[in-house]
Structure 1
Amino acid sequence: MKNKENFFNHIRSGNMEGIADLLATDPKLLEINDQRGSTPLLLAAYYGHEGLVRFLLEKGAQVDAKDGSGSTALMGVCFKGYLGIAEQLINAGANVNQKNAMGATCLIYAVTFNRQDMAELLLKNGAEVAIKDAKGKTALDHAKDQGMESLIKLLETY
């Protein structure tokens, strides 16, 4: 479908005008998935398009929609480090404790990729330190494995 391909190209490049035009003619584009199962919101977040994320949320994008591996937009920004987008997604009701197919949570991603500011944001918004991934490891376990002293201290306070 040409509209679908164009729509995802506009999402990746952050072309708000092209996205708005296509959504005006076909609002269901907001709910489609690409070949990897990614939603428009997930891709906009992954590519760091803060204004586009806001626009898609205002249009009704599902904040906790999952891609083919069960990951959400919030998970993607947790390892990319896009704090402003993470705040938007959380304010829109994103589940900070959602697990993907590997059992990883947003907090586990933030810790694994040494994103202290992201971990703090998640913890302030109810992220649970005790959740284990598919390998039986918590965010604290990951921080200890990598010798991340400041994250270890932070996680041990929760």
Structure 2
Amino acid sequence: MVAAVNKLQKSINSDEDEPSRPAHVQGPASSKLHGSSILLDANSTKRKSAFLPYRPQSTVLTNLQRGNTEATFCPVEVTLSFHERAGQGEITEDQVKAELLRQKHIDFRDSHGFTPLHWASSYGQLVSAQLLVAAGADVNSLAPDMVTPLLLAAAGGHNEIVRFLLDRGAVSTHMDIVGNTALMYAAAGNHPHTCNELLARDLDFSATNENGQTAYALAVEHGSHLSQALLEQYMTAVLTAGALGNI
């Protein structure tokens, strides 16, 4: 299967996938990560895979910090927690070391149960992720609903972080509380480059969640046409390779 993926890489660049989730499914406008990955059916208590994005709708950076407005007078001082700064790519090696002196380990959690690495992965901050892992962050750390940094990176289409986490031992086949894998999140979110990074690890393409849905089925259901096309190419390449191997 890895050989089949290599054939696809010629037609796929390595840029980070562009977020394509519609605005109405975004999490609350909060500076905190949203940890729920399940919805309840209106007529029952059966869990349904939902693919709610874990990233908050807006970041904690102000327009002034972004440079979108003239720096004249700011009456309110913006104070960010270490988790938030990790999510904004504003941590340094010295700051990580200083935080380690205050905490027992670098995987200390915020009030919602997320580690700094969850934040960095969710927001696509590769340098932050690298600093945290170098300081001992667990790439397979579980947040609420059994969410790992890899799932967050895949949900956001951050293929460079997905590659980095996989290279550092992240479990590519890990499932959240309702059986969703990183590939399922990437496929549903219409992130073909991220799908390609995951498929290159020769993972189980036919895996299903609690609703019996595969990554391909979710791409179709969510109208994720780019991911759907990539997965169809992958399936064709696998079938072709299998046919040639039987000759």
TM-score by length of 1: 0.86
* Structure 2 residue corresponding to 1:156, chosen from 231, 235, 245: 235
- Structure 1 residue runs without a partner (length 5+): none
* Structure 1 residue corresponding to 2:102, chosen from 26, 30, 37: 26
**One-letter amino acid of the counterpart of residue 153, structure 1:** E
Q: Displacement, 1:37?
A: 1.3
* Structure 2 residue corresponding to 1:80, chosen from 152, 156, 172: 156
**Match of residue 12 from structure 1:** 87
Q: Displacement, 1:76?
A: 0.8
**Match of residue 11 from structure 2:** none
TM-score by length of 2: 0.57
Matched, 1:59 2:138: no
Higher relative contact order (CA 8 A, sep 6+): 2
Partners of 1:7 and 1:22 in 2: CA distance: 11
Q: Give the RMSD, CA atoms, in angstroms.
A: 2.1
Q: Displacement, 1:55?
A: 0.7
CA offset digits 1:126-153 (Å, max 9, x no partner): 3211111121111122133337341341
- Structure 2 residue runs without a partner (length 5+): 1-79, 239-247
Partners of 1:76 and 1:82 in 2: CA distance: 9
More helix by share: 1
**Match of residue 135 from structure 1:** 211
Matched, 1:104 2:183: no
Q: SS where residue 69 of structure 1 aligns?
A: helix
Aligned residues: 154
- State whether residues 184 and 214 of structure 2, in contact with CA within 8 Å, keep that contact through their aligned partners in structure 1: yes
Identity of aligned residues (%): 23
